[in-house]
Amino acid sequence: MTELLSAGLYRLRRLKLLWIVCGLLALASAGNVAWSWHAALRYHTVLNDEVKAVTLSLRAEYMDSNFFTVPAMGVLFSSALCAWELGAEYQDGAQRNKLSVGHKRRDVYLTALLLTVLICALLCLAAFLPGIPVMLLTAGGFGMGWTKALLSMAGMIAASAAFASLFTLLGLNIQSRAAAAIVAIALTAALALGGNILRGRLEEAPTYPGVQHTEDGETLFVTMSNPRYIPEGPWRDALTLLVDMDPADQVLRYCHSGEENVGRLAAYDALFFVLTSAAGLLIFRRKDLK
């Protein structure tokens, strides 16, 4: 496995597309933070002492949210890069050559998994690191605080590792690199959209205010039950678990002023990583490599 990992790292260093994407993410991150500061000064202007605290709070929240936007996009779009690179080993015969010289399928799969995790982590770091000094120079730091900001960065990297396990499953079990990339992008989009829809349902309030007009012309404000509200119980617990285990939804949640339960979400990422990796390895062991 050491030989496979060394060869993979050598190939990774020569992967020009990876370094081009990292460079673009770095430029986009620094530019986005700088532009966000300019926009915050323009639209969140301190008018007087009465609204100063509220204005500064909105400005800090706006800056924090925009800081995580580029890394989030980097994680979500890493699907195409990872699946494309893994699929390339089918087309050039690298997968068959590894097995023909005596390497075990388990070692081949685990090596690809580690390299994919490394790619996703590099993309995250390329988007994080240039934005931090710009945040210091413009906003003076994070409105949410350094502890919460660093935890959110760590949580996003953990979510990217969960994604890496999914991309490895697809890239090593779909022989067409184009098909693997398309499926990875579509699945990532489906996870993001599905998680957003389910989280919206879980955030529904049990009641909402309504207006009722009487025959006498009086207007009464009444409380009406919300038919979209999901009551406490096994069904709500199951949906909450699905949303929390969705790495795409986690990434989007980190974009909105950080996330309070980083440790719990990271534990779900680990569970997602283990289950997806086990399923991918099981399929790869039985796959006929032609």
List pLDDT tens digits, range 83-134. Answer: 777 766 666 666 666 766 777 888 888 888 998 899 889 999 998 999 889 8
Assign 48 a pLDDT band (cuts: 50, 70, 90): very low
Residue 217 lies in a domain: no
CA–chain centroid gap for 254, Å, is 8
Instruction: Look at residue 250 and tell me whether its pLDDT is greater than 70.
Output: yes
- Band (pLDDT 50/70/90 cuts) for residue 47 is very low
- Any domain includes 214: no
- Per the DSSP assignment, residues forming a β-bridge with 42 are none
Confidence of residue 53 (pLDDT cuts 50, 70, 90): very low
Asked, for residue 219, whether it belongs to a domain, the answer is no
Is 78 part of any domain? yes
Count of structural domains within the chain:
1
- Which residue in the block uniquely carries the two structure tokens 């700088």? 34
Residue 277 lies in a domain: yes
Is 252 inside any structural domain? yes
Q: Which tokens in the block code for residue 69?
A: 């936007």
- Of 213, 278, 205, 201, which Cα lies nearest the Cα of 242? 201
- State the pLDDT at residue 54: 44
Domain holding 42, by residue range, is: 2-208+224-286
What proportion of the chain, given as a percentage, has pLDDT over 70? 79
pLDDT band at 161 (very low <50, low <70, confident <90, very high): very high
User: Quick one: pLDDT at residue 50?
Assistant: 46
- Please state whether beta strands 207-213 and 219-225 pair in parallel, antiparallel, or not at all (unpaired): antiparallel
- Whether residue 27 lies inside any domain: the answer is yes
